[in-house]
């Protein structure tokens, strides 16, 4: 869907509508809108028609991307995959709201998520692993100063 949207932008369409019931598509649309904004193309609106029946609504992915900012928008797919998606289990007793709140309060993890997005097949650096571990610890204990999951378990 995103590939077709990118092609539509290349053909000078300025309003893109994607229809889905899957949050994965919404996450990718927000990241895509962030990339378009960063490239400073003419104003492109990316809308996602989401839900079914009385729960159907249109979400402005471009506005969500604006509010998140460039870094968070582009890092969102990795955040989504790390915290649980269609193919990855979520963390026990911790949902997306908790994870997102921790992310907003621990912005250093954004650079780590961006690095993982940019080099998905490369080994994870020690610094990235430390940030991911600290992020995970904060999901379960927001006041912890531990940086190692095994230490935090004790």
What are the domain boundaries of the chain?
A: 1-68, 70-154
**Distance of alpha carbon 80 from alpha carbon 39, whole angstroms:** 23
Asked whether the predicted pLDDT for residue 37 surpasses 90, the reply is no
Model pLDDT, residue 49: 96
Residue-wise pLDDT tens digits, 48-97: 999 999 999 999 999 999 999 989 999 999 988 888 776 667 677 777 88
Map 58-111 to HEC letters.
EEEHHHHHHHHCHHHHHHHHHHHHHHCCCCCCCCCCCCHHHHHHHHHHCCHHHH
Cβ-contact 37, 26 below 8 angstroms: no
For residue 102, the model assigns a pLDDT of 87
Residue 2 exposed, middle or buried by CB count within 10 Å (0-12, 13-18, 19+): middle
**CB-based contacts of 88: which residues, under 8 Å, 6+ apart?**
81, 82
Residue 116: the pLDDT is 92
CA torsion angle for 90, 95, 97, 103 (degrees, to 10)? -50
Q: Is the pLDDT of residue 30 over 90?
A: yes
d(CA 65, CA 56): 20
pTM summary value: 0.81
pLDDT surpassing 70 at residue 119: yes
| CB 103 within 8 Å of CB 65 | no
**pLDDT tier at 18, thresholds 50, 70, 90:** very high
Quote the Cα angle for 1-41-17, to 5°: 30
Average of pLDDT values for 135-146? 82
Which has the minimum average pLDDT: 24-33, 104-113, 116-125, 142-151?
A: 142-151
pLDDT tier for residue 42 given thresholds of 50, 70 and 90: low
Higher per-residue confidence, 9 vs 42: 9
Report whether pLDDT(46) > 70: yes
């Amino acid at each position: 869907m995103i590939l077709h949207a990118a092609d539509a932008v290349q053909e000078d369409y300025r309003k893109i509508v994607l229809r889905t019931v899957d949050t994965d598509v919404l996450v990718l649309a927000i990241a895509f809108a962030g990339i378009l904004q960063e490239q400073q193309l003419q104003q492109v609106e990316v809308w996602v028609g989401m839900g079914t029946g009385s729960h159907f609504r249109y979400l402005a992915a471009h506005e969500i991307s604006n509010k998140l900012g460039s870094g968070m928008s582009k890092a969102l797919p990795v955040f989504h995959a790390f915290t649980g998606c269609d193919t990855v289990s979520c963390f026990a007793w911790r949902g997306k709201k908790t994870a997102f709140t921790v992310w907003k309060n621990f912005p250093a993890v954004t650079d780590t998520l961006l690095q993982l997005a940019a080099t998905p097949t490369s080994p994870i650096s020690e610094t990235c692993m430390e940030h991911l571990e600290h992020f995970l610890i904060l999901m379960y204990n927001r006041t912890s100063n531990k940086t190692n999951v095994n230490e935090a378990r004790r």
